[in-house]
């Protein structure tokens, strides 16, 4: 005799969804000072574990439907966490998809090519000028050229 009210709820899909959400949010960890290197992997791992937990919940709801309820909610939650996981994987791939054609970039021990570019006030400045010191200042011991993606 299957009494629907006596069936247990399973929290597994919700726990799984929470993990995939945390996985997506973990991409923001470097912004609060967390070391960036492990973050892509933490994010991917959390999301994958989340999906496994969601699938456990689905298996309970469908495979053991006399014990557990939640077929509908479990399916909806599974769809959401799958979407989130897809997003996480897409971002993981995209963030690492940097062209590897920098083989001819200046190597340690080589001299970098000189260049002249406008600074943020529009004045042209060359690398040679920067190396010999700006506006009568002491020449710097070294320069750190930071090429960055831009500000948006």
C-alpha to C-alpha distance for 114 and 83, rounded to whole angstroms? 48
Instruction: Check residue 55 for interaction with another protein (CB under 8 A).
Output: no
- When the beta carbons of 62 and 115 are compared against another protein, the nearer one is 115
Which has the closest alpha carbon to 4: 66, 62, 50? 66
C-alpha to C-alpha distance for 57 and 59, rounded to whole angstroms? 5
CB of 121 to another protein, least distance (A): 7
Instruction: Check residue 151 for interaction with another protein (CB under 8 A).
Output: yes
Footprint of another protein on 61-100 (CB under 8 A): 95-96, 98-99
Instruction: Check residue 149 for interaction with another protein (CB under 8 A).
Output: yes
CB of 52 to another protein, least distance (A): 24
Instruction: Check residue 152 for interaction with another protein (CB under 8 A).
Output: yes
Which of 27, 49, 59, 80 touches another protein by CB under 8 A?
27
CB of 110 to another protein, least distance (A): 6
Q: Would you say 57 and 13 are in contact if contact means Cβ atoms under 8 Å apart?
A: yes
Half-sphere exposure in the Cβ direction for 55 (13 Å, CA): 8
Q: How many CB atoms lie within 10 A of CB 63?
A: 10
CA–CA–CA angle 97, 103, 108 (5° rounding): 115
Binding segment for another protein among 49-57, 66-74, 79-87, 117-125 (CB under 8 A)?
Answer: 117-125
- Matching residue, tokens 């290197």: 37
DSSP assignment letter at 75: H
Binding residues for another protein, rule: CB under 8 A, are 27, 30, 36-37, 39-40, 95-96, 98-99, 101-115, 117-122, 125, 127, 130-131, 134, 139-152
């Amino acid at each position: 005799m299957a009494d629907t009210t006596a069936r247990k709820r399973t929290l597994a899909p919700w726990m799984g969804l929470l993990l995939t959400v945390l996985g997506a949010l973990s991409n923001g960890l470097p912004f609060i000072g967390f070391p960036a290197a492990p973050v892509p992997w933490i994010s991917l791992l959390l999301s994958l574990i989340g999906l496994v937990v969601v699938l456990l919940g689905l298996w309970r709801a469908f495979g053991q439907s006399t014990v557990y309820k939640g077929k509908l909610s479990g399916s909806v939650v599974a769809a959401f966490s799958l979407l989130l996981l897809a997003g996480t994987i897409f971002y993981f791939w995209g963030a690492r998809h940097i062209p590897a054609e920098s083989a001819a970039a200046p190597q340690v021990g080589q001299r970098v090519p000189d260049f002249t570019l406008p600074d943020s006030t529009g004045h042209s400045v060359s690398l040679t000028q920067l190396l010999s010191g700006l506006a009568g200042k002491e020449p710097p011991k070294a320069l750190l050229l930071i090429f960055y993606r831009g500000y948006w």
